[in-house]
């Protein structure tokens, strides 16, 4: 049996913009999907998906997930016409939108295949195979999610460039609030593309600001100026609202987190549902914001970046 792990992620700056080469900042979180791969008699593959999930997520993503597994197997060179495999997915990462669930599972499966079939895949190859798997979910992914799921840590990610690690003084507490809405990342990305083509001058201005913001945010993280990081997250959320990838549930949770003392808050990931993230340094503030989110009937995940 082969076993593999892939981390969940939180994009702190510039989801969507990253698709067009704008720098982004992403952190893996301490929740992961674990994949087990076992050989069985016959041919083909079967899946037992035991991950905890937002209601409706698995059903909604089933077709994309099947396509994704086919792609991962192909990219890893595992021919299931000659061998049958049983894939089991589990772990403590909730299968939900905005938290890197699809990328985490692609990475976990690639690692498990590598172990079971003695493929000796390097980290770079795992990442590349997961990227192929991600295409089933995103169409034209930037690669930020699979990169975070593979390498972990806090990363400066620019499409097509080598990653840079951002090392900060101490990990920082965050809260991720789940709207409970299953979102379609591919549709969200396509919507941005369409609107950008319709209004290039306006989008150019927004994209330029997103790019400048990423550099300032990297410096603020390195300086451990968390107030500044929070303010920049707030501004990043406004830019994401401007390109129309937020929604009223995300805006509500973002506002709620700020009212309860978060240093900053924004949607995270593809948007149009899924998760938001609030910067909440210290256990007390983290508890307070998470409680406020739960009181409103939403799920809240307490974790850390860096
Ligand atoms: C999704 O987690 C992040 C997006 O920027 C898409 C991508 O980068 O491929 C929305």
Query: How far apart are the CA of 269 and the centre of ligand 1, in A?
Result: 6
Query: What is the average pLDDT value for the chain, to the nearest integer?
Result: 97
- The protein residue with its alpha carbon nearest to ligand 1, atom 2, reads 269
Q: What is the pTM of this model?
A: 0.97
- The verdict on the CB of residue 8 being under 6 Å from ligand 1 is no
Q: How far apart are CA 125 and CA 42, in angstroms?
A: 28
Q: How far apart are CA 127 and CA 124, in angstroms?
A: 5
Instruction: Summarize the chain as % helix, strand, coil (round to 5).
Output: 45, 25, 30
Query: How far apart are the CA of 271 and the centre of ligand 1, in A?
Result: 9
Q: How far apart are CA 157 and CA 107, in angstroms?
A: 17
The reported pLDDT for the residue numbered 50 is 98
The reported pLDDT for the residue numbered 114 is 98
145 is catalytic: yes
* 2-165 belongs to CATH 3.90.1300.10: no
Here the tokens at position 211 are 């790019």
Percent of the chain with pLDDT over 90: 98
Q: How far apart are CA 249 and CA 104, in angstroms?
A: 25
Using pLDDT thresholds of 50, 70 and 90, give the confidence band for residue 299.
very high
Query: How far apart are the CA of 15 and the centre of ligand 1, in A?
Result: 5
3.40.50.11240, 3.40.50.670, 3.10.50.40, 3.30.70.890: CATH of 172-305: 3.30.70.890
Catalytic position from the list 49, 70, 145, 251: 145
The reported pLDDT for the residue numbered 82 is 87
Same-fold call for 2-165 versus 172-305: no
DSSP 293: H
- The verdict on the CB of residue 269 being under 6 Å from ligand 1 is yes
Using pLDDT thresholds of 50, 70 and 90, give the confidence band for residue 138.
confident
Q: How far apart are CA 254 and CA 182, in angstroms?
A: 18
Q: What are the boundaries of each domain within the chain?
A: 2-165, 172-305
Is the confidence at residue 97, as pLDDT, over 90? yes
Q: How far apart are CA 296 and CA 178, in angstroms?
A: 11
- The verdict on the CB of residue 12 being under 6 Å from ligand 1 is no
The reported pLDDT for the residue numbered 260 is 98
Mutate to test the pocket of ligand 1, among 269, 272, 275, 277 (most ligand atoms within 8 A of CB): 269
Query: How far apart are the CA of 227 and the centre of ligand 1, in A?
Result: 26
What's the pLDDT tens digit per position in 223-282? 999 999 999 999 999 999 999 999 999 999 999 999 999 999 999 999 999 999 999 999
Here the tokens at position 18 are 């990253």
Tokens 């920082």 sit on residue: 172
The reported pLDDT for the residue numbered 31 is 97
Cα diameter, the chain: 58
- The verdict on the CB of residue 9 being under 6 Å from ligand 1 is no
Is the confidence at residue 63, as pLDDT, over 90? yes
What's the pLDDT tens digit per position in 174-219? 999 999 999 999 999 999 999 999 999 999 999 999 999 999 999 9
């Amino acid at each position: 049996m082969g076993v593999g792990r892939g981390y969940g992620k939180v994009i702190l700056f510039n989801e969507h913009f990253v698709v067009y080469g704008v720098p982004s900042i992403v952190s893996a979180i301490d929740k992961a999907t674990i994949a087990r791969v076992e050989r069985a008699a016959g041919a083909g593959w079967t899946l037992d998906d035991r991950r905890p999930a937002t209601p409706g997520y698995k059903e909604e993503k089933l077709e994309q997930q099947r396509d994704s597994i086919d792609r991962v197997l192909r990219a890893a060179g595992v021919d299931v016409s000659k061998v049958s495999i049983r894939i089991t997915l589990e772990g403590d990462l909730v299968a939900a939108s905005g938290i890197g669930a699809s990328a985490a599972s692609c990475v976990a499966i690639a690692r498990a295949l590598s172990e079971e079939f003695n493929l000796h895949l390097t980290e770079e190859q795992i990442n590349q195979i997961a990227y192929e798997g991600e295409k089933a979910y995103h169409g034209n992914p930037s690669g930020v999610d699979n990169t975070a799921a593979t390498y972990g840590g806090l990363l400066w990610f620019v499409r097509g460039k080598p990653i840079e690690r951002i090392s900060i003084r101490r990990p920082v507490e965050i809260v991720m609030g789940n709207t409970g809405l299953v979102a379609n990342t591919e549709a969200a990305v396509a919507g941005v593309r369409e609107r950008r083509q319709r209004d290039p001058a306006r989008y150019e201005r927004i994209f330029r600001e997103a790019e400048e913001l990423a550099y300032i945010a990297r410096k603020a993280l390195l300086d451990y100026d968390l107030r500044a990081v929070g303010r920049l997250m707030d501004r990043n959320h406004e830019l994401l609202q401007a390109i129309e990838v937020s929604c009223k549930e995300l805006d509500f949770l973002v506002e709620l987190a700020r009212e309860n003392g978060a240093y900053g808050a924004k949607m995270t990931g593809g948007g149009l549902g899924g998760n938001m993230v609030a910067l909440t340094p210290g256990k007390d503030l983290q508890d307070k914001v998470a409680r406020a989110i739960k009181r409103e009937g939403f799920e809240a995940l307490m974790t850390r970046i860096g």
